[in-house]
Structure 1
Amino acid sequence: MAAATSSKALSSTREKSTTQKSGRKRNTRKRAQDYDSDALDDDSDFDAKADSKENEESKKPKRKRASRARKQDKTPSSRKKRRKADEDDDEEDYNLKDGQEIVGEVIQAPKTGTVPPGQISKNTFNFLQKLTDPDCNDREWFKLHEPVYRQAEKEFKAFVDAFTEVLTEIDTHVPPLPPKDVIHRIYRDIRFSNDKTPYKKNLSASFSRGGRKSIFACFSPGGESLVAAGTWCPSKNELATIRSNIARSSDRFRQVISDLEFVALFGEAKPMKDGGRRNIFGADDELKVAPKGFDKDHKDIDLLKCRTFAVVHRFKDSEVLAPDFKNKLGEVAAVVQPFVHCLNDLMTLQEGDDDEQD
């Protein structure tokens, strides 16, 4: 383990969140974040120094127009360079103080165990497994193992690129976006978390079209790899729209979640007696009683009690590391496609629904 020249810890402590939430709500939001990492990937381009300089420029007399024009001409280039630097040195702020440096041997990427483009290797899983150890999940260790991470990142981008080709043939609603637009960052948002480890223990990507629901894929060793689809903790208005459309007609939705192939992957389309997770039922935020405005004897009360409409299918490590895994993942995507499309329609306002919500 590498050591810094300063005796103080390299990573600064963050304030713990003062907001206390109920156990059920906290668990549900945690799962929503696990399955929707876009919520954690806040890429701000805010530059306080640049804004300060612009404010100073605006206070200068008439010469400001010429100088400002020249500045504006340079701004796109400078911002482009800054963004390029950010991509090259992504999140490499190790909170070092003056005179501090990270000391230790840089671990090079393994030269054996590599796989052809479009596959995931054991090397990648070995790296992710290391991140489950708190002693390894810190900026100091990560910096010394950055060549290993970069190799895993490159491999994952190639896999996502290959899978995107498979997925876009299955679902024409999904655009053929480049990997950089669908892959989530490995850096965690720890601002409101008691867990201050800076890196995720998985590699993940979301495939969707402009706010429409699609699938989320996450890869992690120990049988934690999964594909998920649906909506977690929808907003009040979104949930009202879904329930309104289900109450209007649930036939199509029931047919989708009762399909034999769908049931084989996600379980029988009815709640478990013990409240366990199966199909779309059994989420932590599921209601125990009928929602407001609906009779407890409503024929679709099982669906109306749901607040999360999502399904999850997990994969064994041996499946993920298999050469044809992208095709197996595509088979799951094909089964879940009707569910995704039906859910998107259920989340669409019908005539008169907006008046009811107001």
Structure 2
Amino acid sequence: MDFNNLITFLKELNKNNNKEWMDANRNWYREVRREFIVWLDGLNENLLNQYDEYYDTPGKKGVNRINNNLMFHPNRPVYKDHFGAGLDKKLNTGDFYIEIGIEESMFAGGLWRPDSKRLGSIRDAIDYNGEELVAILKKPSFKKTFGGLIEDVKLTRPPKGYTENHPHIDLLKHKTFAVMTKFNNELLFGGNFNEKVFDAYREMLPFRTYLNKAITV
């Protein structure tokens, strides 16, 4: 994958974030997107061969649109400033997300503000066996990689059916169950970036498995 070409494209797009520029550089965009998809295909094949429960996600299926959704976010630019994709992307579950941006990139995964039904299922799992999730989040290598849950919207009071003295009340108040690690783009050019991807996937997997089991069982 020519990450230099990808990042150069994103920088130029960011300076000229309009449909006219994109139309004039459509072939460049298609070239970069095609290379990104081929790279994702390689990651997907490797993970598919390593993990029995991995959900086959070819690059074309995992890659996100570069257009922002202006219907719901009219104040955003026409195009995003990154290429993003989800792997292990089974419908309605938390995938493993990769984002390559202009200055920095990220690995992320989990569930961002799940609907009330899935959120309720996660809370049921925490109520039944929150110790398992706590152990995952407190694992030293996990904390070193991801820190902890993304601090997003949280309830100020216990959710319905729970009390303030519940042993896992802090977790129960979360409305987003996701983790993320950002990194400088120098990592892209170190010669072993794919291994960094696999390391992040492996470290995040127990967390994602816990959540996905909670919302599918």
* TM-score after normalising by structure 1: 0.57
**Amino acid paired to 2:96:** I
Structure 1 residue 236 corresponds to structure 2 residue 116: yes
Identical amino acids, percent of aligned pairs: 26
8 Å contact kept, 1:262–1:336 = yes
In the alignment, which residue of structure 2 is the partner of 1:190? 70
In the alignment, which residue of structure 1 is the partner of 2:201? 333
Instruction: Report the Cα offset of residue 204 of structure 1.
Output: 1.1
8 Å contact kept, 1:233–1:307 = yes
**Amino acid paired to 1:141:** W
Deviation string 1:99-153 (CA, Å, 9 cap, x unpaired) is: xxxxxxxxxxxxxxxxxxxx242121011112222xx111111122223212211
- 1:228-307 to structure 2, matched below 5 A, reads 228-267=108-147, 279-280=148-149, 282-283=151-152, 285-307=153-175
In the alignment, which residue of structure 2 is the partner of 1:149? 29
Q: Structure 1 residue aligned with 2:6, among 120, 124, 137?
A: 124
- 1:66-81 to structure 2, matched below 5 A, reads none
Find the aligned partners of 1:176 and 1:299 in 2 and give their Cα distance.
37
8 Å contact kept, 1:230–1:311 = yes
Instruction: Report the Cα offset of residue 196 of structure 1.
Output: 5.5
In the alignment, which residue of structure 1 is the partner of 2:54? 174
Taking a change above 3 Å as real, the CA distance of residues 142 and 312 of structure 1, as seen in their structure-2 partners, is same
Deviation string 1:273-298 (CA, Å, 9 cap, x unpaired) is: xxxxxx11522x11222222211111
Instruction: Report the Cα offset of residue 338 of structure 1.
Output: 0.8
8 Å contact kept, 1:120–1:159 = no
SS of residue matched to 2:106: strand
Find the aligned partners of 1:342 and 1:196 in 2 and give their Cα distance.
34
8 Å contact kept, 2:41–2:58 = yes
Find the aligned partners of 1:176 and 1:281 in 2 and give their Cα distance.
27
8 Å contact kept, 2:93–2:111 = no
Instruction: Report the Cα offset of residue 335 of structure 1.
Output: 0.6
Find the aligned partners of 2:102 and 2:49 in 1 and give their Cα distance.
28
Farther off after superposition, 328-337 or 148-157: 148-157
Taking a change above 3 Å as real, the CA distance of residues 210 and 292 of structure 1, as seen in their structure-2 partners, is closer
Taking a change above 3 Å as real, the CA distance of residues 323 and 150 of structure 1, as seen in their structure-2 partners, is farther
SS of residue matched to 2:9: helix
Larger Rg: 1
Deviation string 1:255-313 (CA, Å, 9 cap, x unpaired) is: 1111121111112xxxxxxxxxxx11522x11222222211111111111111100001
**Amino acid paired to 1:243:** R
SS of residue matched to 2:14: coil
Structure 1 residue 210 corresponds to structure 2 residue 91: yes
Find the aligned partners of 1:242 and 1:191 in 2 and give their Cα distance.
30
8 Å contact kept, 2:94–2:109 = yes
Taking a change above 3 Å as real, the CA distance of residues 196 and 292 of structure 1, as seen in their structure-2 partners, is closer
Q: Number of matched residues? A: 216
Farther off after superposition, 299-308 or 247-256: 247-256
Instruction: Report the Cα offset of residue 190 of structure 1.
Output: 1.1
- Unmatched runs of 5 consecutive residues or more in structure 1: 1-118, 268-278, 350-358
Find the aligned partners of 2:12 and 2:142 in 1 and give their Cα distance.
34
Instruction: Name the structure with the higher helix share.
Output: 2
Taking a change above 3 Å as real, the CA distance of residues 196 and 236 of structure 1, as seen in their structure-2 partners, is closer
